[in-house]
Chain A
Amino acid sequence: MTSTRSGVASRALLETLDEALTLLGGYALEPRQTADPLPSLLSQCEAFCALALVAEPVRTIHHMACTGGTLISKCLATLPNTLLLSEINPLSTMHVKEGMGQFAPTDLLLAMRKAVRPQDDDTLIRVFLSSMATLLADCSAKGIHLVLRDHAHSSFCTTAAAVAQPALHEILSREFPRRSVVTVRHPLDSFLALHSHKWSNVIPFTLEEYALRYEVFLDRHIDIPVCRYEDFVAAPEATLEQICSHLELPTPPGVIELISAVTLTGDSGRSGVIIEPRPRRPIPDEIRSSIDESKAYRRLCERFGYTSASD
């Protein structure tokens, strides 16, 4: 019996080898050429197969509003063969208007929300992921790197229900390999910018509440590398290279000079083509008085090495 079983196995192996040789028919060595030992060749084959199995990741960048995220995203958008989609959040409802009528013929997710029988978040997420799969495969086939700029403001600076929903990077991680970066800015500067734009979605609109929301955002992105906006404006090329290293993107020289050709949504910052540090906005009295009182604000400053003093 043993000889019969081994004979069957040998025949099966022989058939497999015959098939392999049929496939490799065109790669026969000329006579008198020597080849490496078989185990070494097999390990080399395995190494090539391992490389082929690595799928192109989706890249994401995450930041709170008014923290310089648009500027950094513009730089990413100028990278070669990079497709950056700005302010993406499949579960955001900030753009949804009251009532039934809202013309958006290309927005499938909005139509699903506004339908007579509106779809739940799970369905929206599956539709989104399905779209992302197609887009990612298409970009990969064309050699394009896909980068999604998260609209974190929708998740962390509106309602408590929005905070409880899955964030963009958590949704994408369900099905795709991901490379991500978080950018931050001094919380007082970003809060002053929110105040100047009157974007008071945070309720109550106080420095303490804003700092608490900021902490929640950072805790939900705890495993993602962080880059400071202040470091970027001080040394744009070097910092961009670090960010691209995290995201596995190429950084040829001179890309920053091309950002004036890029327009993105959410560009709320002060205008100008030169990347350089800007002076702090004037501090209203009602905000200045709350600086020393906010514990969350002081924790936030300590977390990233910022000074909590107003000057």
Chain B
Amino acid sequence: MTQPQSGASHGSIIHIGAGDGAELEGYLASRFERIVLVEPEPDRAAAIEIRCANDPRTSVIAGALTGVDGEAELKTYNIRALDGLCHPTGLQDIYPGMRVLSRVIVPTLSPAALLKRIEPLPGPVRLVLHATGVEADILNAWPVGDANSQLDSIELRCSAARLFDGGSDLSALRALLQMKGFDEISSDLSDPDWPKLVLRQNALRLELDAQRTLCAQLEGRLAEADVALESASSAIATKNGRIELLEAQLLEAEAAQVAAGTALTENQAKQAELNGRIELLESQVSEAEAAREVALKNTREATEAAQVAAKTALTEHQAREVELNTARSDLAVTLRMQAMLQSDLRDLQARYAETLSVRQQQEDLLRKLTPRLQEAAQYIQDNSALQSEGRGQLGHAKPRKPQSRKPKKLPGAQG
């Protein structure tokens, strides 16, 4: 049974993988100020808790300590000491009769979570680590730099060979612990397959390692500073060159300024002269503009007058065009009417000629008719006279002579 060193604080003990609590009696009889028992198998954890219910120093945590918080499957074997979370690999070669009794899902705790649950934890703290296959995970995850997590000693029971999937062998664990600043105090190799080691924190070496780490960091920072210094020096040199250049430019600028000042003075004199000329020209321009305005006005008036005259002329021209077209139209109508009248006249002349011809025929006919009628009249008269002689003596009637009357002669009539 492990005991805290005499003369120091009694400290605390954390037993990972308490199992059936074989060490519990020893713990309870000790002067540890705090006793933390972590057992993943629920029944065992419950049994342990019953046994230490009356001791206020104890804390029983039912769960498995691993590198992370969560859940995992706990396998219990017919060799209870081999219970664990990891899958056995070479273990079955050592224990061919090994078989799984049960599988149960158990909660897992990381070292940081465990420490937070059980704080405060009076130091020095002793860690008893019986967690087959996960020893390296626990040790790597153990927080450092915190007084509450600082381990003073470790009692480790592990496998000499790598017997679990993901697990580590004795050599690897020794190296890990050495790297973490633990010196091996004692080892129990009575069971060559399951050696026990007791290791103690070498504070000096830890400090030395820390200082070395710090020194390395400082050296790195120094190197960075040297690089930065060199870079800064280079920048300063560049800037100095730039400054010199600017100073030279400044001198040049000052010289140029002086020259510019001289030129400015000259320019001002010229400007004064030019201003005088400008004023003179402006007055001339004003006079010219006034004259232009007058000329424009005169031109505009003349243009307007010309436009009015042109418009008047156009209107007159259009009116004359209308008159001309009207006259043309009237002339066309007149010509046609004249043609119609000429046609009428020719028709009348033709009909008149025909009428004269008919009249001439009639006169001829009448001339022919007259002597015949005279003969007829004479014949009748003679007949009448003869008839009268038959009734008595009548005188002979004298033959009738036509009364002479000249007929009217029409112009152009024949005969």
* Residues on A facing B (Cβ under 8 Å): 3, 6-7, 10-11, 13-14, 17-18, 20-22, 24-29, 33, 35-38, 41-42, 44-45, 48, 51, 78-81, 143, 250, 252, 254-255, 258, 260-261
Within 8 A of A (CB), among B336-354: 336-337, 339-340, 343-344, 346-348, 351
Using A22-B403, A28-B370, A29-B370 as known contacts, say yes or no to A143 and B387 having CB atoms under 8 A apart: no
> Contact flags (1/0) for B311-341 with A, using CB distance below 8 Å?
0000000000000000000001100110110
Q: Is A10 in contact with B387, judged by CB distance below 8 angstroms?
A: yes
Question: Nearest Cβ in chain A — how far from B183, in angstroms?
Answer: 121
Using A10-B384, A26-B407 as known contacts, say yes or no to A35 and B368 having CB atoms under 8 A apart: yes
Nearest residue, chain A, Cβ from B342: A80
Q: Cα distance A218–B351 when bound, in Å? A: 35
Q: Is A27 in contact with B343, judged by CB distance below 8 angstroms?
A: no
Say whether chain B's binding surface is mostly helix, strand, loop, or mixed: helix
From B348, B369, B387, B407, give the contact of A35 (CB < 8 A). B369
B42: Cβ under 8 A from any A Cβ: no
Q: Is B362 in contact with A48, judged by CB distance below 8 angstroms?
A: yes
Hey, which chain A residues are within 8 Å of B376, CB to CB? 17, 38
Hey, which chain B residues are within 8 Å of A10, CB to CB? 380, 383-384, 387
Q: Is B402 in contact with A258, judged by CB distance below 8 angstroms?
A: no
Hey, which chain B residues are within 8 Å of A258, CB to CB? 336, 339-340
Pairs A–B under 8 Å by Cβ, sample size 9: A10-B383, A21-B377, A26-B407, A29-B370, A38-B376, A79-B343, A143-B348, A258-B339, A260-B336
Q: Is B369 in contact with A14, judged by CB distance below 8 angstroms?
A: no
From A14, A20, A25, A29, give the contact of B381 (CB < 8 A). A14
Nearest residue, chain B, Cβ from A142: B348
Hey, which chain B residues are within 8 Å of A255, CB to CB? 343
Hey, which chain A residues are within 8 Å of B383, CB to CB? 10
Q: Is B387 in contact with A3, judged by CB distance below 8 angstroms?
A: yes
Q: Cα distance A93–B316 when bound, in Å? A: 48
B398: Cβ under 8 A from any A Cβ: no
From A13, A45, A81, A250, give the contact of B369 (CB < 8 A). A45
Q: Is A17 in contact with B380, judged by CB distance below 8 angstroms?
A: yes
Q: Is A80 in contact with B346, judged by CB distance below 8 angstroms?
A: yes
From B347, B372, B402, give the contact of A41 (CB < 8 A). B372
Q: Is A26 in contact with B346, judged by CB distance below 8 angstroms?
A: no
Say whether chain A's binding surface is mostly helix, strand, loop, or mixed: helix
Q: Is B380 in contact with A41, judged by CB distance below 8 angstroms?
A: no
Nearest residue, chain A, Cβ from B361: A48
Q: Is A27 in contact with B407, judged by CB distance below 8 angstroms?
A: yes
Hey, which chain A residues are within 8 Å of B346, CB to CB? 80, 252
Using A81-B348, A258-B336 as known contacts, say yes or no to A41 and B403 having CB atoms under 8 A apart: no
Nearest residue, chain A, Cβ from B372: A38
Q: Is B365 in contact with A29, judged by CB distance below 8 angstroms?
A: no
Q: Is B371 in contact with A26, judged by CB distance below 8 angstroms?
A: no
Q: Is A28 in contact with B367, judged by CB distance below 8 angstroms?
A: yes
Q: Is A25 in contact with B402, judged by CB distance below 8 angstroms?
A: yes
Hey, which chain A residues are within 8 Å of B347, CB to CB? 80-81, 143, 250, 252
Q: Is A27 in contact with B366, judged by CB distance below 8 angstroms?
A: yes
Q: Cα distance A260–B332 when bound, in Å? A: 9
Hey, which chain B residues are within 8 Å of A33, CB to CB? 371
B5: Cβ under 8 A from any A Cβ: no
Q: Is B363 in contact with A27, judged by CB distance below 8 angstroms?
A: yes
Q: Cα distance A188–B403 when bound, in Å? A: 74
Q: Cα distance A140–B384 when bound, in Å? A: 47
Q: Is A29 in contact with B371, judged by CB distance below 8 angstroms?
A: yes
Question: Nearest Cβ in chain B — how far from A16, in angstroms?
Answer: 9
Q: Is A143 in contact with B351, judged by CB distance below 8 angstroms?
A: yes
Q: Is B370 in contact with A24, judged by CB distance below 8 angstroms?
A: yes
Q: Is B381 in contact with A26, judged by CB distance below 8 angstroms?
A: no
Nearest residue, chain B, Cβ from A41: B369
Q: Is B340 in contact with A14, judged by CB distance below 8 angstroms?
A: no
Question: Nearest Cβ in chain A — how far from B188, in angstroms?
Answer: 124
Q: Is A28 in contact with B377, judged by CB distance below 8 angstroms?
A: no
Q: Cα distance A17–B382 when bound, in Å? A: 14
Q: Cα distance A81–B346 when bound, in Å? A: 10
Q: Cα distance A79–B344 when bound, in Å? A: 8
Closest 5 CB pairs of A and B: A261-B336, A80-B347, A26-B405, A35-B368, A25-B403
Hey, which chain A residues are within 8 Å of B343, CB to CB? 78-80, 252, 255
Q: Cα distance A210–B404 when bound, in Å? A: 72
Using A21-B400, A28-B404 as known contacts, say yes or no to A36 and B340 having CB atoms under 8 A apart: no
Hey, which chain A residues are within 8 Å of B373, CB to CB? 17, 20-21, 24, 38
Nearest residue, chain B, Cβ from A261: B336
Question: Nearest Cβ in chain A — how far from B307, in angstroms?
Answer: 39
Q: Cα distance A20–B371 when bound, in Å? A: 11
Q: Cα distance A38–B347 when bound, in Å? A: 37
B390: Cβ under 8 A from any A Cβ: yes
Hey, which chain B residues are within 8 Å of A35, CB to CB? 367-372
Hey, which chain A residues are within 8 Å of B365, CB to CB? 41, 44-45, 48
Nearest residue, chain B, Cβ from A31: B371
Q: Is A41 in contact with B368, judged by CB distance below 8 angstroms?
A: yes
Q: Cα distance A35–B371 when bound, in Å? A: 7
Q: Cα distance A166–B372 when bound, in Å? A: 53
Known: A27-B407, A80-B340. 16 other contacts (CB 8 A): A10-B380, A11-B384, A14-B384, A21-B377, A21-B402, A24-B370, A28-B367, A28-B370, A35-B371, A38-B369, A38-B376, A41-B365, A42-B369, A48-B365, A80-B348, A252-B343
